[in-house]
Amino acid sequence: RSLAMQEAIVLYPSPQIGHLISMVEFCKLILTHQPSLKIHILNPPPPYGADSTAPYISAVSATVPSITFHQLPTINLSISSSRHHESLVFETLRLNNPNVQNALISISKNYNIISFIIDFFSTPAFDVATALNIPVYYFNTSGAGCLAFTLYFPTIHKKTTKSFKDLDIHLDIPGIPPTPSSDMPKPLLERDDELYKFMLDFATILPKSAGIIVNTFEALEPRPLKAVRDGQCVPDSPTAPIQCIGPLIATSDRSSDGSTGNSIPECLTWLDSQPSKSVVFLCFGSLGLFTVEQLKEIAIGLERSGQRFLWVVRNPPAENQSVAIKALSDPDLNLLLPEGFLDRTKQRGLVVKSWAPQIAVLNHDSVGGFVTHCGWNSILESVCAGVPMVAWPLYAEQRLNRVLLVEEIKIALPMVESENGFVNSAEVEKRVRELMELEQGKSIREQTTAMKHAAMAALSEGGSSHVTLDQLIESWKHK
C-alpha cells in the first residue's frame, strides 16, 4: 500500500444498537489519541429489516466528520421462528461477506487500511479481511472473565460429550471462580444448537486474530486477564495480545434521553427531589422482559422493602411478536402492577415506562443502588458511577457475569431465583434492603467506590487503558 495515502481503520459491528454505540465510542476515543486517522464503519442491515440505527448514525455523522458510515445492503432471510435471533444475525452477516469485501476494496483505493475491527457476530468477515492482507482485531463487548471462558470453551467441548445443561457440575475455567455449568451463556446450553457451533468457531478464530481489544480495565479483572495472557485458556497454541482500553461507556447527556428531544426527562427531575444515595434503580437492559406474574412479585418486594425506587417497566413478552417491537410499545401499568401499588408508593417510588436515561440516572446523587440484568455495558456504567449492584441475570452471558460480580470482583449481591427462574417477592425485598441499608451492602459499596477510582485512573493520562490505546494505535502504523 502506498505510504502517501491517509491511514484509516475500518470497523464492522453487529447490527445491534448497543454494539454500534460501543464501537462508535471506541472510535471517538481513538480520535482523541490520533486525530489524523480516518474511520470507516460498515453498518450491516438488521436481520428483520427494521432500521433502528438510522437516527443514531445521522447524529454521529453530523458531529464526528472523521467517521464515515457505509450502509451494507439488506439481506432477505427466510425467517423461521425456530431460529434464535442470534442465528439470524450471524446468517445476515455471513451473507454480507461479498459486500464487506467490496467495501474494503473500495476503501483501500483511497486509504491505507491499518486495521479492521470486528466483534463476535461479524466473525464471518474474518477470512475476507485476512485474504486482503488486512490485520483483523476483535472488539470484545463483554469483560475479561467472559473472554477467559470463551477462549477455554473449545477445551471444555473436547473434554465432554454432554450439553452444559446436562452436566450439572461446577466448571473450572482458568482465572474465574468455579461456575455452574447451567450458568453458561444460554445459547450454549444445548450442544446441538446451531449457535453452539457458531460460538465454537468464534472461540477458535478469536485467539488467532491480530489482537483482542477488551472493554474492561486491568484493575477490575486482574485474575482472568492473567490467566488469558499466561496461555492457560488456550493451552496448545498462542493467544493474540489482549488490550484493555476501558471502561468505555457512552457519554451521558442529562438534557436528553434519546426520545424526549431536549427536555429533561421526568425521572431526573423526580430524582432531584430525593435524598442523597436513597433510591434503588431497577433496569434490565435493552431486551429484559418479565412476565406479569414476575412484575407483580417485584412490585410487592419493592413495596415491602420500604426503600425509595425508580423502576423501568416494560410490557411482558408476547408470543408471535418480536422482542424488540413488543418492548417498545407502552405498557399499561394499571394492568401490569398490583392494584393500588402506584398510589401506595407514590411518595417514594417512580415507575418509568419502557426506557430511562440509564447513565444519567446512575450518575444522579440520589441513586444508591442498581438492580441490573448484568449486561456488560450496564455493569461498567454502574462501576463508573460508583453504584453497587444486585445481579439479576436474564439472557446472553449474564449469569456468568453474576458469578464474576458477586464472587470475583465483589461489587454486587446476587438475586437468587428458584429452579424455574422465578424470583419471589421475599427475595426482592431482602436483596434490595441488603443493598441499600445493611452491612452486606456496605462492603460492596466500598469495593465499588474503589473500582470507580481505579476506572478513572486507568483512563487518565499514564493510566493502563490510556497507555494501552496509545500503544495499540502505534502498533497499527507499523503493521
Q: Determine, following the binding rule CB under 6 A, whether residue 387 of this chain makes contact with ligand UDP.
A: no
Q: Which residues contact 1 (CB under 8 A, 6 or more apart)?
A: 108, 112, 113
- The crossing angle, in degrees rounded to 10, of helices 144-159 and 194-205 is 110
DSSP letter string over 369-431? EEEE---HHHHHHHHHHT--EEE---STTHHHHHHIIIIII--EEEP---TTS---HHHHHHH
Mask for 177-216, x = binds ligand UDP (CB under 6 A):
----------------------------------------
Query: How many residues can be counted in the chain?
Result: 479
For ligand UDP, the closer of residues 141 and 465 by Cβ is 141
Spatial distance between the Cα atoms of 113 and 108, rounded to a whole number of angstroms: 6
Alpha-carbon gap, residue 82 to 235, rounded angstroms: 36
Contacts of ligand UDP in 2-61 (CB under 6 A): 18
> At its nearest, how many Å lie between ligand UDP and the CB of residue 402?
13
Measured CA to CA, the distance from residue 43 to residue 41 in angstroms comes to 6
Q: Is 214 helix (H, G, I), strand (E, B) or coil?
A: strand
Residue 119: CB minimum distance to ligand UDP, A: 12
Residue closer to ligand UDP (CB basis): 173 or 394: 394
Q: Closest approach of Cβ 285 to ligand UDP, in Å?
A: 3
x-marked contacts with ligand UDP along 249-288 as a string, rule CB under 6 A? -x--------------------------------x-xxx-
At 433, the amino acid letter reads: R
What number of chain residues touch ligand UDP (CB under 6 A)?
17
Q: Rounded distance, CA 395 to CA 471, Å? A: 35
By beta-carbon distance, which residue lies closest to ligand UDP?
375
| Cell of residue 132, nine digits | 486482503
Identity of the residue, 250 or 457, whose beta carbon is nearer to ligand UDP in the bound complex: 250
355 binds ligand UDP (CB under 6 A): yes
Rank residues 240 and 455 by Cβ distance to ligand UDP and give the closer one.
Answer: 455
- Contact status: 375 vs ligand UDP (CB under 6 A): yes
Q: Does 378 contact ligand UDP by CB under 6 A?
A: yes
| Chain positions contacting ligand UDP, by CB under 6 A | 18, 250, 283, 285-287, 312, 355-359, 375-378, 381
